[in-house]
């Protein structure tokens, strides 16, 4: 066996079923090995390396297995950086295999020579250059162990040409996998009994408890445990953007999203009025806490936090109690202890008030959700989408135009439905390639991707990938001929001195058709309804080019923006 064959064999030992990537001069040996391993391992050809890493990221989020991608040397590694960085900062296990130049040319300014260890060091949990082929099995096992354990994250392995093409001398006995690391989080940890008993004590004393579910609850698959704890405590559940979908939006204790972007006022109210707040799998970062002003300081308020990463415990607030451990395991233990204290609580008058506030919010929103304005309002699009979402659905969004409207108005029904968005760095160009990875992980789910024209310009090539693979996805393109998010900020903070944010719309639906998708342009409410019906009935990818209102014309539901707009009115 040569090194490339060992790599593929070790991927098989780790239970890898799909690899995303782009070929290059340095990856010939790896591609031959992948060819011979088919169909046990599927290789998904992406149109650029950034897209391949985004595909692996989305696959990992939905399969709860490490996502694997590969790229050639030089520019391939450089183009992979955005997806690897996003995965690592979002606690997603992605393993990037970089086919590297020959070691014999090291330091000789060989074309595409690049110090990938230095490049990836700050955006991975591990970046390493393998110089000895016999170490391939142990290094790959270590890569999966590091990527999936503790706080999951990204790993990058650079494989020089001599290692990939050279004979493997390690022996058949070395070719075994780390079985515990085929899924994540691996090696889950529990909180101590002492900490759990103290946690129960604080929650039992609460008269207005609230649970804040972050993205870690989705990574941990803690939905059933969140629901059980909330129902026993009669505690409202609010989520961060990354925590959306952990509990069905129609559940009587599900109050919606907190934070700056697309917030629900009743969810903000619940956190502010709570006497005990339990954060689970939540970094308590700038967005979800409104730059650490939510909740406001109150000496009598107790803040409790559960997180698998001890570095995040009490990092941003003065916690009353911190519990290090996996969200699902800690909550499961918590529920057992709570049930040992007697019957579940009944919802309080306070919870009833919050639910009435939630109902009033939706009544007040009905006019804008059904608005017939042209250009179409984004919230009108989300409302029409809600009517057609089946269970389970996977909704994937880019940053920018769709974000605040999705987080405020999207309704997920549970049963495995998820909302995915790159929240660590907010890079554009994620949604279209992510649909490819999502389909490999969840072929059972209805896929919907939402993105603006800025995002489309960065990932349009993957429309061909969707068409080539015949992936049944509904693609909704918000076409407002500008970088709308930045244009809105210029409106608020630069006296509407718009600069380098506008561009030509062109004919995106024709571009999509050119790549092999079914497509149509949508400009009116009637066309929107007909277009969505056609798209959801399609058995392949369908592209809807929606002529939509730009953000600077009507401020989106972003708390800091609304505050700035109010200040402008008064000045």
State the DSSP code for 105: G
Of the two residues 553 and 54, the one the predictor is more confident about is 54
Averaged pLDDT score across all residues of the chain? 96
Residue 503: φ, ψ to 5°: -150, 175
pLDDT in tens, 341-355: 999 999 999 999 999
pLDDT at residue 3 is higher than 90: yes
d(CA 535, CA 541): 8
Q: What integer pLDDT is reported at residue 50 of this predicted model?
A: 98
From the CB of residue 517, how many other CB atoms can be counted at a distance below 10 Å? 21
CA end-to-end span of the chain, whole Å? 74
Tens digit of each residue's pLDDT (9 = 90 or more) over 419-432 = 999 999 989 999 99
d(CA 420, CA 423): 9
Q: Please name each of the domains of the chain with its CATH number.
A: 3-181 (3.40.50.970), 193-353 (3.40.50.1220), 370-570 (3.40.50.970)
Residue 164 has pLDDT above 90, yes or no: yes
User: With the C-alpha atoms ordered 383, 389, 391, 395, is the resulting torsion angle positive or negative?
Assistant: negative
Residue 505's pLDDT is 86
Cα 523 from Cα 155, distance rounded (Å): 44
CA 261 to chain centre: 15
Give me the mean pLDDT over the 276-301 stretch. Answer: 97
Q: How far is it, in rounded angstroms, from Cα 449 to Cα 266?
A: 28
Work out the average pLDDT over 529-542.
98
How much of the chain exceeds pLDDT 90, in percent? 96
pLDDT grade, residue 569 (50/70/90)? confident
Q: Region 503-515: what's the mean pLDDT?
A: 95
Token pair for 477: 């393109």
505 to 453, 461, 519: CA distances (angstroms): 8, 17, 16
Dihedrals phi, psi of 564, to nearest 5 degrees? -65, -40
pLDDT for residue 415: 82
> pLDDT confidence of 414, banded at 50, 70, 90?
confident
User: Does the structure show a pLDDT above 90 at 456?
Assistant: yes
In this prediction, residue 75 has a pLDDT band, given cuts at 50, 70 and 90, of very high
Identify the DSSP state of 324.
Answer: E
Geometric angle at alpha carbon 467, from 469 and 427, rounded to 5°:
95
pLDDT tens digit sequence for 223-262: 999 999 999 999 999 999 999 999 999 999 999 999 999 9
User: Any idea of the CA torsion for 119, 124, 128, 134, to the nearest 10 degrees?
Assistant: -150
Residue 135 has what DSSP assignment?
G
């Amino acid at each position: 066996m040569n090194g490339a064959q060992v790599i593929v064999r070790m991927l098989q030992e780790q239970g890898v079923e799909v690899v995303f990537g782009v070929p290059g001069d340095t990856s010939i040996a790896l591609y031959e090995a992948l060819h011979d391993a088919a169909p046990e391992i599927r290789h998904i050809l992406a149109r650029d390396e950034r897209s391949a890493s985004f595909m692996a990221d989305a696959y990992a989020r939905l399969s709860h297995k490490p996502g694997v991608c590969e790229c050639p040397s030089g520019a391939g590694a450089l183009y992979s950086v955005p997806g690897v960085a996003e995965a690592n900062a979002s606690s997603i296990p992605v393993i990037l295999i970089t086919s590297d130049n020959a070691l014999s040319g090291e330091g000789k300014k060989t074309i595409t020579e690049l110090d990938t260890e230095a490049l990836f060091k700050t955006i991975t949990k591990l970046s390493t250059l393998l110089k000895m082929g016999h170490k391939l099995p142990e290094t790959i096992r270590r890569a999966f162990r590091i990527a999936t354990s503790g706080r999951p994250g990204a790993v990058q392995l650079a494989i020089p040409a001599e290692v990939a093409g050279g004979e493997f001398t390690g022996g058949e006995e070395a070719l075994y996998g780390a079985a515990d690391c085929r899924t994540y989080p691996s090696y889950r940890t529990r909180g101590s009994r002492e900490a759990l008993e103290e946690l129960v004590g604080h929650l039992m004393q609460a008269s207005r408890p609230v649970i804040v579910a972050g993205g870690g609850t989705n990574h941990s698959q803690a939905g059933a445990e969140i629901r059980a704890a909330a129902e026993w405590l009669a505690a409202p559940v609010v989520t961060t953007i990354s925590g959306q979908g952990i509990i069905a939006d129609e559940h009587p204790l599900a109050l919606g999203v907190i934070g700056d972007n697309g917030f629900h006022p009743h969810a903000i109210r619940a956190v502010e009025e709570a006497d005990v707040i339990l954060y689970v799998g939540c970094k308590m970062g700038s967005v979800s806490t409104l730059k650490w002003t939510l909740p406001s300081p109150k000496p009598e308020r107790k803040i409790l936090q559960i997180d698998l990463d001890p570095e995040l415990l009490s990092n941003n607030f003065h916690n009353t109690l911190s519990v290090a451990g996996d969200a699902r395991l800690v909550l499961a233990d918590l529920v057992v202890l709570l049930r040992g204290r007697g019957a579940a609580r009944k919802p309080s008058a306070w919870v009833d008030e919050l639910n009435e506030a939630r109902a009033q919010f939706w009544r007040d929103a009905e006019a804008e959700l059904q608005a017939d304005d042209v250009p179409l309002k984004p919230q009108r699009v989300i409302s029409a989408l809600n009517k057609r979402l089946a269970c389970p659905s996977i909704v994937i969004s880019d940053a920018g135009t769709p974000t605040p409207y999705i987080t405020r108005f999207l309704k997920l029904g549970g049963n495995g439905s998820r909302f995915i968005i790159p929240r660590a760095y907010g890079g554009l160009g994620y949604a279209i390639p992510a649909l490819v990875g999502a389909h490999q992980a969840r072929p059972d789910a209805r896929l919907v991707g939402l993105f603006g024209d800025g995002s489309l310009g960065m990932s349009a090539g993957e429309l061909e990938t969707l068409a080539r693979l015949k992936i049944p996805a509904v693609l909704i393109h918000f076409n407002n001929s500008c970088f709308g998010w930045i244009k809105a900020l210029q409106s608020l903070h630069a006296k509407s001195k718009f600069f380098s944010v506008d561009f030509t719309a062109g004919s995106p639906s024709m571009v999509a058709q050119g790549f092999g998708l079914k497509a149509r342009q949508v400009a009116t409410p009637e066309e929107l309804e007909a277009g969505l019906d056609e798209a959801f009935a399609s058995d392949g990818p369908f592209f809807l080019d929606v002529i939509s209102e730009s953000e600077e014309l009507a401020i989106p539901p972003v708390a800091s923006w609304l505050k700035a707009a109010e200040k402008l009115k008064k000045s």
